[in-house]
């Protein structure tokens, strides 16, 4: 169970030396209890206190790495129920199901779709993270053959092996030795044998049960058998069960530090209707799932899910921003255009993407406005004529260009006169309001 601030205080040196950045040991203890500080900030804490507090301060949802190498996925490590308390830590992974009843060419097509799923969105690489091979045939040979195909064509992609047949599990898992697969299908009937396989192969065990009570009993039993890394499934299939069970699991783990449910959650959301599947997957993304298994990965569906995941796992207290500087797009010459915008990541990536589309080499001055978009920054007094003039002057850009023309976003056309007043000798041109108008605007100027 989590320790209270006073219990933690009793284990601290009680010298109030302030080296941890807090005025007293009690203040530090309170921060530790709220998980707003970490024990290593106190250099004088005893080994015994470290042991006791280390156990108590371990993340309530166990951190686990799924897969290996560049495509490994970190799961768990979550500490809160709501994003406004602290950010969610490890984004959920998406997997697509590959049934072993499919033909070789159908399986190959799915693997290729996974490998081609990666997109770049606002500077982050997003992809379908894993392949879930399901023993739908009930045949050990077919399961092994499907696993062989996946391991040869996508050797670096994390894999979930889904079967309740221990012989099939044993045969297939050897193909992923050292690659930290998830072996999903441990239940009350096969727990001992599945735990043994997971232990031998150092795999993550996917544990499934009917309801939370059975699930927590099963994870305790499996832990006692020596398996530490598990992903859990309360048998949630309907959307309301995914929502309800996932919430109760996260609540039990983070609010009560209830260890038997302190594991990443896996949800299977496959539906015949792909739009419905998307909606159910969306619930799983927003409500605490760590691995979501889909039946299909159409590009439009991926885009929706990637965007949702990115939003949920962005720290709401820290605006996404890029570094203030003048970015070269293409290979600009001294006479190439110079534009200005703010450093909100989304603004930067959209504007720079559209400038790139124009194929007109340019310079983009990105001004630090604390991660706000153009209109918001202007309204907040952070994107003003004085500040723009100061930024352009201090950037030293004048020595790299042969003109003194600055293109500003159309939304702040109102600033053009006052910028010209403050930037002596400069001409201010008003660009399009929306970034998607930039290619036509730049091409027309270049013509
Ligand atoms: Fe107390 Fe340790 Fe902080 Fe010093 S550094 S005030 S001993 S908690």
CATH of the domain at 249: 3.20.20.20
- Are 38 and 57 in contact by the 8 Å Cβ rule? The answer is yes
- Are 391 and 367 in contact by the 8 Å Cβ rule? The answer is yes
Full domain range(s) for residue 396: 325-446
Name the residue among 173, 180, 162 with its Cα closest to residue 96.
Answer: 162
pLDDT in tens, 105-125: 999 999 999 999 999 877 788
Residue 5, pLDDT score: 86
Do 24 and 92 share a domain, yes or no?
A: no
Please indicate, yes or no, if residue 197 is contained in any of the structural domains.
yes
Please indicate, yes or no, if residue 319 is contained in any of the structural domains.
no
Sign of torsion over alpha carbons 328, 333, 337, 338: positive
Ligand 1 atom nearest residue 28's Cα? 8
Do 137 and 153 share a domain, yes or no?
A: yes
Residue 398, pLDDT score: 93
Question: How many angstroms does the Cα of residue 56 sit away from the middle of ligand 1?
Answer: 18
- Are 181 and 159 in contact by the 8 Å Cβ rule? The answer is yes
Do 46 and 174 share a domain, yes or no?
A: no
Please indicate, yes or no, if residue 318 is contained in any of the structural domains.
no
Is the beta carbon of 21 within 6 A of some atom in ligand 1? Answer: no
Do 218 and 332 share a domain, yes or no?
A: no
Ligand 1 pocket test, pick from 11, 19, 40 with the greatest ligand atom count within 8 Å of Cβ, gives 19
Do 334 and 307 share a domain, yes or no?
A: no
Q: N- to C-terminal Cα distance for the chain?
A: 70
Q: Enumerate residue ranges in the chain where pLDDT < 50.
A: none
Ligand 1 pocket test, pick from 5, 27, 28 with the greatest ligand atom count within 8 Å of Cβ, gives 28
Q: What pTM was estimated for this model as a whole?
A: 0.77
Is the beta carbon of 38 within 6 A of some atom in ligand 1? Answer: no
- Provide, rounded to the nearest whole percent, the portion of the chain with pLDDT above 70: 99
Q: How many domains does the chain have?
A: 3
Please indicate, yes or no, if residue 317 is contained in any of the structural domains.
no
Ligand 1 atom nearest residue 21's Cα? 3
């Amino acid at each position: 169970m989590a320790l209270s601030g006073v219990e933690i205080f009793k284990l601290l040196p009680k010298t109030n030396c302030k080296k941890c950045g807090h005025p007293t040991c009690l203040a530090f203890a309170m921060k530790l209890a709220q998980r707003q500080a970490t024990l290593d900030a106190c250099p004088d804490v005893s080994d015994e206190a470290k042991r006791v507090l280390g156990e108590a301060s371990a993340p309530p949802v166990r951190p686990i790495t799924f897969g290996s190498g560049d495509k490994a996925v970190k799961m768990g490590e979550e500490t809160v129920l709501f994003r406004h308390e602290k950010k969610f830590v490890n984004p959920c992974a998406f997997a697509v199901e590959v049934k072993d009843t499919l033909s070789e060419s159908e399986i190959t097509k799915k693997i290729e779709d996974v490998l081609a799923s990666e997109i770049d969105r606002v500077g982050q690489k997003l992809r379908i993270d894993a392949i879930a091979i399901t023993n739908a045939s009930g045949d050990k040979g077919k399961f092994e053959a499907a696993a062989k195909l996946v391991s040869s064509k996508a050797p670096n992609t994390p894999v979930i092996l889904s079967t309740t047949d221990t012989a099939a599990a044993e045969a297939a898992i050897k193909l992923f030795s050292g690659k930290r697969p998830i072996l999903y299908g441990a239940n009350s009937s096969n727990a001992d044998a599945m735990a043994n396989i997971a232990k031998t192969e150092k795999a993550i065990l996917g544990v499934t049960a009917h309801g939370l009570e059975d699930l927590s009993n099963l994870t305790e039993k499996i832990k006692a058998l020596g398996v530490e890394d598990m992903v859990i499934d309360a048998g949630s299939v309907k959307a309301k069960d995914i929502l309800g069970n996932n919430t109760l699991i996260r609540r039990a783990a983070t609010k009560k530090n209830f260890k038997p449910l302190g594991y990443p959650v896996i949800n299977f959301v496959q539906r015949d209707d792909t739009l419905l599947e998307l909606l159910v997957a969306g619930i799983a993304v927003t409500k605490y799932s760590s691995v979501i298994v889909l039946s299909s990965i159409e590009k439009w569906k991926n885009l929706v899910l990637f965007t949702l995941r990115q939003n949920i796992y962005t720290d709401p207290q820290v605006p996404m921003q890029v570094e203030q500087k003048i970015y070269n797009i293409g290979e600009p010459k001294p006479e190439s255009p110079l534009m200005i915008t703010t450093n909100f990541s989304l603004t930067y990536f959209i504007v720079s993407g559209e400038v790139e589309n124009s194929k007109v080499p340019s310079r983009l001055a990105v001004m630090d406005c604390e991660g706000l978009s153009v209109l918001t920054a202007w309204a907040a007094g952070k994107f003003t004529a004085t500040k723009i003039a100061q930024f352009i002057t201090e950037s030293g850009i004048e020595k790299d260009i042969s003109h003194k023309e600055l293109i500003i976003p159309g939304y702040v056309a109102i600033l053009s006169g006052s910028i010209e007043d403050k930037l002596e000798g400069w001409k201010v041109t008003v660009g399009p309001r929306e970034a998607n108008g930039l290619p036509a605007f730049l091409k027309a100027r270049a013509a």
